[in-house]
Structure formats: C-alpha cells, structure tokens
Amino acid sequence: MSNLAATSRVLEETQAKAKTLLEALPYIQEFSGKRVVVKVGGEVADDTETAAVFTRDLVLLKLVGLEVVLCHGGGPQISRLMGELGHEPEFVDGLRVTDAETMRLTSMVLLGDVNRTLVGHVNAHGPHAVGLSGVDGRLFLCGPKDEKLGFVGEISAVDPRPVTRLLEDGYMPVVASVGMDGEGNTYNINADTAAGALAGALEAEKLIVLTNVEGLYEDFGDADSLVSEIDLAGLREMYEGGSLHTGMLPKVASILDALDGGVAAAHILDGRVEHAVLLEIFTPEGIGTKVSGRGTL
C-alpha cells in the first residue's frame, strides 16, 4: 500500500470516529446534568478486564456531564468465600439466608473487596469515585424482610444526602448494598432492590440494570419474545401476571419501585455486551429493554 493510500485510509477511519462523536452529541446534551443509577452484579468485579472497560465507560459518562451513581452486589464473591470457609450458601426465593456469620462475611466481601475493586478501577482514570454503603449516613434504613431469612433487609427509608453531597462535590458514588436498622444492626439488601430505591430517592433520569441476558422476555427461552420497549403499566401487568422468569422478578420489582418513585426510564441490559451502557444512552437504537415511566415510550 502506498503512503498516500495509507494516509487516506487513516483519514477515513478518523472521520468515522468524529462522525460517531457527533451522533452522540444530541444525547450528551439531553442527559448532561441528569442523574443515572447503574446497578451491576459482582460478576463484573470478578473479571479484571470487564471491570476496567465497564468502569471506564462510567467515567466517560461522568466526564460528559452525567451524574453517575453505581450500585453493586457481590453474590459470587460471597458464595465463594463461604465455600472456602466451609459454609454452604442457602437461598429462599432467590434471597440468601443470612445469619450473623454470613452477614459478617457479606460485609467483608461487599465493602472490603467488591466496592474497593470497583472504586479502584474508576479512580485509575482520576479521582472520580468514592465508595460507601447503605450504612453510611443511614443511606438505607431497613428492618428484617422475613425472619426465616435472618439479616436480609427490607428498605423502609432512603436518605440520599450522602450520595447527593458526593455528586455535588463532583464524585461518582459507588454504593454497596448493605443497610442498617435503628439499633445499628447491618443487613444484606438485594442489590436490585437497593438500586431501585436509590434511583427513586435521587429522582434519577435513568435506572440501568445490567444482567446476564439480552433483556426482558415475554417467554423466557424464546429469543423472538424479547421486549424492546414497554411502559410502566405493561411491565406491571407482566409482573403481576406471573409470566416472568424467577431470576427477573427482583429486577422488575426494583424497576417498578423506581418508576413509581418518579424515575423517567429504566433499562435492562446485557452486561456481557462491551460498552452496553454507552450503546443504550448514546445511540438511537439502544440495546436490551427500555421501560418508560411517566406514561410514554
């Protein structure tokens, strides 16, 4: 290839990149200054490369003006640590039975491992993130969800001030899904539930839930039944009608909670897709399933 042809090819590739940036401009303008809550599971923090790419995308969102809050769980890491210490994880309706020892291990994993890992990946690009949990500033006040579950929390109140103050100071809060009761006892909170409650309390523009499937299905297992867009009423009908796959129930419940709290839209995305969050926010096609509140698609 001649030098002229190589130069021409490089120019074309550079122009294509510039075109992509210009296509994203209307979405940057629309969402700049708006709050976005992103929920991710512990699987992301388990893979160094995935965590690096994902958190870099969040930094980009922050740098173009969005106020980003990351809420996370750590189920795989908790189960792994329990196994290493000879404890057999037990689940009821998808929720981890959490006795005092399991709660201690859960706090160790979420606060000492997963939260620090995600904060570290974000801060590799500058002093952007601060880690906290629902215990800090009594962000998540809760009580026992069910006696048979032990220290599994049901959120009774959200005080978003610890998060809003970090946002006002220019930081990205990274929130571990642990809460507390009025007596100082800590509780394990489902991360989907925590993210939905937090999004509502923050009056966020979007709640983005990353999962390991392509989106919401009318008939799980039937690829043709993937739902691209649905409104709040339609999602509530699916939830109450019993047609949803068991694993999707807490995610849909959290979305209903968030939209009832005034969040404009929620998105269920396949976290295995590289740059999934950017594709959803900055392209007209989007990916996954969009759930619109406030009565419109």
Catalytic residues: 39, 42, 75, 192, 251
Dihedral sign, Cα of residue 28, residue 32, residue 38, residue 43? positive
Angle CA(224)–CA(250)–CA(85) in degrees, nearest 5? 115
DSSP 3-state of 130 = strand
CA-based end-to-end distance of the chain: 50
Paired with 227 in beta bridges are: 216
How distant is the alpha carbon of residue 108 from its chain centre?
20
- Residue 61 and residue 68 in contact, taking contact as beta carbons nearer than 8 Å: yes
* DSSP state string for 35-77: EEEEEE-HHHHHSHHHHHHHHHHHHHHHHTT-EEEEEE--HHH
CA atoms within 13 A on the CB side of 190: 25
User: Residue 152 has what DSSP assignment?
Assistant: B
